[in-house]
Structure 1
Amino acid sequence: MAFSRPMKLMSFSSLLLLLVLVLVLISLAKAQRPTETIVEFYLQDLASGSNATVVPITGIKNKPLSFTTFGTIFTIDDPITQTSDRNSTEIGRAQGMLVASALSGSNVHVLVSFSFSNGSSLEIQGTSRQFERYKELSVVSGTGSFRYVRGYATLETIYYDNKTSYSIVRCTVRIIQS
């Protein structure tokens, strides 16, 4: 069946209205984009002695309790400081568990809360690849100032004393608040 008259295209005013609507929607989408916040702090980690902040709590019978022995579970309560200096202001505690989770001893599963002195916290979880310089973990949530955040944390050991098992870990957290 043939049309007796040509189909009418959209009128100029309708086209202009559609264009304005698209531009408004684009500007609203840009205005609602979340912004990234970067926070940097340091963990003061001591794995030996009477004041140890990381201690093994259990493991596989007849196997050594170490970070590279599959099945070893550690608990952690590291001070969080503003700078890498051991005497820097403490701004919170890193508290949780570490589990040697790879048969090869190469990975530790991390479940840690960065609990800050102001009452806020960040919840960190993921696989820490022990022999890599940078360990990237997920920020899965938070409380207080960090409620509903998501992002990732990069951990880098910037100092290690083999004799005392003392290390300083720089933690850079990149988060987006929903």
Structure 2
Amino acid sequence: MLFSRPNEAQLQRVNQTNLVFFLQEFTSGPNATVVPVIGITGKTWSFVTFGTIFAIDDAITQTPDRSSARVGRAQGVLVASALDGSNVSVTISIVFNNVDYSGSTLELQGTIHQNERYREVSVVSGTGRFRFVRGYAILETIYYERATSYTIIRCTIELIYN
């Protein structure tokens, strides 16, 4: 197998796209969008308990307003993956249903440090309009309401593709 460096023309064909949208997340109540599905027997299932696995299905909106236009869903799995409860491993599909990207997905993967305001994960692939993309996503908690366990997360994604 031969490997070659891209020539100047190939390098100039790289395109970049930035996306910003908002995850609407509920971690308790009858409309919870993040729920624990399994954990270690005898231990409390929580975001800081090693081995707890969560399913996620958050609405994605255009603006932080809960009633703003929906553009898709963030669906996947979160795993409390650090013994000390500091990290969560993330595997999430961003499933778009808006006019521009309907049927397309972005695949996010990585480990996030729970107590940081800005959390970064990799964009490892995509489908439809995002086939063969790569990049990264910054997840930033911009609002949290303890009483209802409601969180708004700004998701800023930078994509590179040919």
- After TM superposition, the score normalised by the length of structure 1 is 0.83
Structure 1, unaligned stretches of length 5 or more?
1-24
Is 2:15 aligned against 1:31?
no
Unaligned runs of 5+ in 2: 1-6
Distance of 2:161 and 2:19 partners within structure 1: 13
Q: Counterpart in 1 of 2:40? A: 60
CA distance, structure 2, for counterparts of residue 110 and residue 75 of structure 1:
10
Change (3 A) 1:101 1:30: closer
**Whole-angstrom distance in 2 between the partners of 1:78 and 1:29:** 38
Quote the residue 1:16 is aligned against: none
Give the equivalent residue in structure 2 for 1:124: 108
Equivalent in the alignment of 1:77: 57
Q: Which residue of 2 aligns with 1:169?
A: 153
Q: Considering only aligned residues, what root-mean-square deviation do their CA atoms show, in Å?
A: 1.0
d(CA) in 2 for partners of 1:30, 1:50: 50
State how far apart, in whole Å, the 2-side matches of 1:46 and 1:175 are.
28
Spell out structure 1 runs of 4+ moving beyond 4 A: none
- The secondary structure found in structure 2 opposite 1:60 is coil
TM-score (norm 2): 0.91
In the comparison of the two structures, how many residue pairs are matched? Answer: 152
SS at match of 1:119: coil
Cα gap change, 1:151/1:30 in structure 2, threshold over 3 Å: closer, same or farther? closer
Greater fraction helix = 1
Amino acid at match of 2:114: Q
Structure number with greater Rg is 1
